[in-house]
């Protein structure tokens, strides 16, 4: 009995591919960060450094509702809860009351609608934390939010920290505040080249934020941030592994792998997710992914046909060869596409709004053929050793 295609019609149709991309983007979800602190402590600078230049100033669009303080970034994978116009101390009770209302209104909804982490920022040069700030941090904790205490604008030159700044950090750590790790995170979002002060601390803050965020939004956080390429790579590889597992299930049906088009919807979703992790706009990457998928599908069909000729009389489904080829095919596509997305993000194919799709396809196929060819050879050797020939 023939398996049904995962999507009706031609899976390489641009309209269907766009729908698959849009569905995958929605599945990626959104990481929501609440950020607080007194005016002038560098909240916007910190957010821009972690999530991209001008996110806090111009990258935030409409609020999720008319009266909400949760603003959506253009990337779609980041939300910032920012109480604009309200000041800690004079408006603390109002801020906490509105945040409580927001949290209560999101109970039972998808995780992408929740507040996941709160940052409370204090400037190192202020050398003091006011009672109202301590009370506010306690209030955030009572609301059930993981609170990160971020010490901003810490001076460090040639690895040596400014003494009074670190004394202040030690003082804060000794207060017993209900914050993550029980201590502040010393940071400098931007270097001061004139004075020789270094930028530091953002990687540790991001890594621990990722570890504390719910698993369901970690990929969204990996996509939203711009300072840790390895975090994006891990998220992309996890998506590849999931797609390969699903492809193995398709390959285990009584259809030879030569009908490789059955795998295209899985692969389009995988490629959409990876492109989103690397913040490649859909309109910029969709045409390239379609061309790459068409080329890879033809190459995969030819490789599978050659393998069948090498192993005449073998029941590919019974021996699991078809499933192994399908999984390896999808892994090779994902691995090649991951590398290409990194190259796109680095501008190797030109500006994102006018990339050279022919060069993208050529590089993708070079990478894909090497990885998939090696996998097919391994599968063939294993089958022969198991008595398949």
Domain ranges within the chain, ordered by starting residue:
29-223, 228-385
HEC states along 116-153?
Answer: CEEEEEEEHHHCCCCHHHHHHHHHHHHCCCCEEEEEEC
Write the pLDDT tens digit of every residue in 208-267: 999 999 999 999 999 999 999 999 999 999 999 999 988 877 655 555 555 566 777 888
Give the DSSP H/E element, type plus range, for residue 306. Answer: helix 282-310
Residue whose structure tokens are 């017993």: 176
| E strand intervals along 162-288 | 184-186
The yes-or-no verdict on residue 11 having pLDDT over 90 is no
Coil, helix or strand for 310?
Answer: helix
pLDDT at 17 over 90: no
- Distance CA(43)–CA(66), nearest Å, equals 23
Separation between Cα atoms, residue 368 and residue 340, nearest integer Å: 10
Report the run of H or E that residue 329 belongs to, with start and end: helix 321-345
Structure-token pair, residue 200:
């530091």
Query: What does the CA dihedral 155, 118, 278, 264 come to, rounded to 10 degrees?
Result: 160
Q: Which two tokens stand for residue 266?
A: 């899985």
Order the strands of the 70-73 sheet from edge to edge: 60-63, 70-73, 78-81, 31-37, 117-123, 147-152, 184-186
Of 304, 334, 325, residue with least CA distance to 241: 334
pLDDT, greater one: 231 or 281: 231
Average pLDDT, the chain: 83
pTM for the model stands at 0.85
Lowest mean pLDDT among 154-168, 229-243, 271-285: 271-285
Closest-CA residue to 338 (of 196, 260, 241): 241
**What is the C-alpha separation between 164 and 288, in angstroms, rounded?**
53
pLDDT at 82: 83
Q: Classify residue 152 by its DSSP letter.
A: E
| Residue bearing tokens 């004139």 | 194
Q: Which helix (H) or strand (E) holds 147?
A: strand 147-152
Q: Name which of 181, 159, 157 is nearest 169 in CA terms.
A: 181
The H-or-E segment that residue 148 falls in is: strand 147-152
More confident residue, 116 or 359: 116
Contacts of 312 (CB under 8 A, 6+ apart): 389
The distance of Cα 110 from the centroid of its chain, to the nearest Å, equals 18
DSSP label of 32: E
Handedness of CA 252, 253, 258, 262 (dihedral sign): negative
Confidence grade of residue 311 (pLDDT, cut at 50, 70, 90)? low
Of the pLDDT bands very low, low, confident and very high (cuts 50, 70, 90), residue 159 is very high
Q: How far apart are CA 165 and CA 340, in angstroms?
A: 43
CA atoms within 13 A on the CB side of 201: 23
* pLDDT tens-digit readout, 28-65: 889 999 999 998 899 989 999 999 866 665 445 555 55
Backbone angles phi, psi at 202, to 5 degrees: -70, -35
**pLDDT mean over 111-116:** 92
29-223 under CATH 3.40.50.300, yes or no: yes
pLDDT of residue 1: 35
Sequence-distant contacts of 309-312: CB under 8 A, at least 24 apart: 310/380, 310/389, 311/380, 311/383, 311/384, 311/388, 311/389, 312/389
């Amino acid at each position: 009995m023939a398996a049904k295609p995962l999507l009706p019609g031609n899976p390489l149709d641009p309209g269907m591919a766009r729908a698959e991309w849009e569905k995958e983007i929605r599945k990626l979800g959104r990481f929501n960060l609440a950020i607080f602190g007194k005016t002038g402590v560098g909240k916007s600078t910190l957010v821009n450094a972690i999530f991209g230049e001008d996110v806090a100033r111009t990258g935030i669009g409409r609020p999720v509702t008319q009266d909400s303080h949760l603003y959506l970034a253009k990337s779609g994978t980041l939300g910032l809860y920012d109480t604009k116009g309200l000041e800690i101390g004079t408006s603390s009770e109002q801020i906490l009351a509105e945040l409580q209302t927001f949290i209560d209104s999101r109970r039972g909804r998808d995780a992408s609608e929740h507040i996941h982490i709160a940052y409370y920022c204090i400037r190192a040069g202020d050398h003091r934390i006011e009672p109202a700030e301590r009370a506010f941090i306690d209030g955030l904790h009572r609301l059930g939010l993981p609170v990160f205490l971020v010490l901003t604008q810490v001076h460090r030159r040639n690895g040596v920290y400014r003494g009074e700044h670190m004394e202040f950090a030690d003082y804060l750590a000794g207060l017993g505040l209900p914050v993550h790790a029980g201590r502040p995170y010393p940071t400098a979002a931007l270097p001061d080249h004139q004075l020789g002060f270094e930028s530091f601390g953002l990687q540790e803050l991001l890594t621990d934020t990722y570890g504390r965020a719910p698993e369901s939004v970690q990929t969204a956080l990996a996509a939203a941030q711009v300072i840790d390429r390895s975090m994006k790579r891990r998220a992309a590889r996890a998506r590849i592994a999931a797609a390969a597992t699903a492809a193995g299930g398709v390959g285990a049906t009584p259809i030879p792998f030569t009908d490789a088009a059955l795998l295209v919807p899985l692969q389009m979703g995988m490629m959409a997710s990876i492109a989103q992790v690397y913040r490649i706009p859909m309109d910029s990457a969709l045409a390239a992914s379609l061309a790459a998928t068409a080329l890879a599908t033809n190459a995969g069909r030819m490789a599978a046909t050659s393998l069948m000729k090498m192993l005449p009389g073998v029941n590919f489904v019974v021996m699991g060869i078809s499933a192994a080829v399908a999984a390896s095919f999808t892994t090779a596509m994902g691995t090649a596409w991951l590398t290409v997305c990194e190259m796109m993000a680095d501008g190797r194919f030109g500006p994102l709004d006018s990339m050279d799709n022919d060069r993208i396809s050529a590089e993708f196929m070079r990478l894909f053929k090497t990885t998939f060819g090696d996998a097919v050879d391994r599968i063939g050797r294993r089958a022969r050793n198991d008595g398949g020939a």
